[in-house]
Amino acid sequence: MTRLSDIAAFIKSANAGATQLTFDIGFPDRSTFEQIVRSGVIDAAKIASLYNIDAGDVAIHHYEPASTIKITIPRATRSGGVDERDFDGVQQYPPLLGIEVGEISR
């Protein structure tokens, strides 16, 4: 089974303001991006299960010009709070690496 980390050009996370966390999954070309979008493997239910949150809290944008899927979820804690875990939000993406994506033709 192919994993998302095998085919994505990059997978990263960052803060989007003080209350949101955003993930960018970039693909090497438009065709790979479109196959992933069409396959529906990255949907709100999948992301919700990986982060133990409600699917209603997951926003997904298919950003064609950059062949990138953007996912935005609420931060677990407010940015820079006393209970901060990852000040810039840059290490929150690893649960996405193992998403199984099926066959992709290049």
What span, in angstroms and rounded, lies between the C-alpha atoms of 105 and 61? 23
What span, in angstroms and rounded, lies between the C-alpha atoms of 5 and 32? 13
CB 66 within 8 A of CB 83: no
How near is the Cβ of 99 to other proteins at its closest, in Å? 13
Q: Which is nearer to other proteins, 83 or 103 (CB)?
A: 83
Which listed residue (4, 35, 51, 101) binds other proteins by CB under 8 A? 51
How near is the Cβ of 81 to other proteins at its closest, in Å? 5
User: In sequence order, what are the beta bridge partners of 11?
Assistant: 25
User: x/- string (CB under 8 A) for other proteins, residues 64-93?
Assistant: -xxxx-x-x---xxxxxxxx-xx----xx-
User: x/- string (CB under 8 A) for other proteins, residues 14-43?
Assistant: xxxxxxx-x-x-x-----------------
From the number of C-beta atoms within 10 Å of its C-beta (0-12, 13-18, 19+), residue 26 rates as middle
Q: Compute the C-alpha angle 13/26/17, nearest 5°.
A: 30
Binding site for other proteins (CB under 8 A): 14-20, 22, 24, 26, 49-53, 59, 61, 63, 65-68, 70, 72, 76-83, 85-86, 91-92, 95
